[in-house]
Structure 1
Amino acid sequence: MLTIHQDQIPDLEFKEAIKKPIPIKCIQINEPFEVETMEGTMRGKKGDWLMVGIDGEMYACDAAIFKKTYELCE
């Protein structure tokens, strides 16, 4: 079985991919919160975002990650 460690990218022939621009619903929450996800309960900190995915799944997104990976739609 191949074991892949978080701090070491394996020497494999990776391809590049771009995430599809699929609009999702999101709101920034200004207090700590918990949300039930498909994997279990997830905690969000003050300022994190509550996301609703394309299949209605909900999850928290760290504010710094949101800023790096999302743009709000007009």
Structure 2
Amino acid sequence: MKYRKKPIVVEAIRWTGDNGKEIEAFCGTDVMFGTIYEPDPVSAACIHTLNGKMYARPGDYIIKGVNGEFYPCKPDVFAKTYEAVEE
């Protein structure tokens, strides 16, 4: 069988590597910042997801899911999956 993703609206923010205050305001206590070293040192946002810790690198989006959970998403996947909504 084939399935189509239901049309839902999510909130998201892009991690630029220097907008930590904005990310903290969005995620609250579900985010921490640090450095990861694979393959090269880069600043990272550590997101506490329903599946454990996941890391957002600069350029990645952080999405707030339908149940209030947060998770990172690569920009190419984000562009294929989501479009801007006018409020």
TM-score range, shorter-chain basis?
Answer: 0.7 to 0.9
Which has the higher relative contact order, 1 or 2, with Cα contacts under 8 A spaced 6 or more apart? 2
Aligned length: 60
5 Å matches for 1:1-74? Answer: 15-31=1-17, 32-74=44-86
Deviations 1:13-71 (A, max 9, x none): xx111100110110111013111001111001101001001100100001111011111
C-alpha root-mean-square deviation of aligned residues, in Å?
Answer: 0.9
Task: Please identify the structure whose Cα radius of gyration is greater.
Answer: 1
**Aligned equivalents of 2:15 and 2:61: distance in 1?**
6
Structure 1 gaps, min length 5: 1-14
**Aligned equivalents of 2:51 and 2:4: distance in 1?**
25
| Matched-pair identity in % | 35
| 4+ runs deviating over 2 angstroms | none
TM-score where L is the length of structure 1: 0.75
| Structure with greater proportional helix content | 2
| Structure with greater proportional strand content | 2
TM-score where L is the length of structure 2: 0.65
Structure 2 gaps, min length 5: 18-43
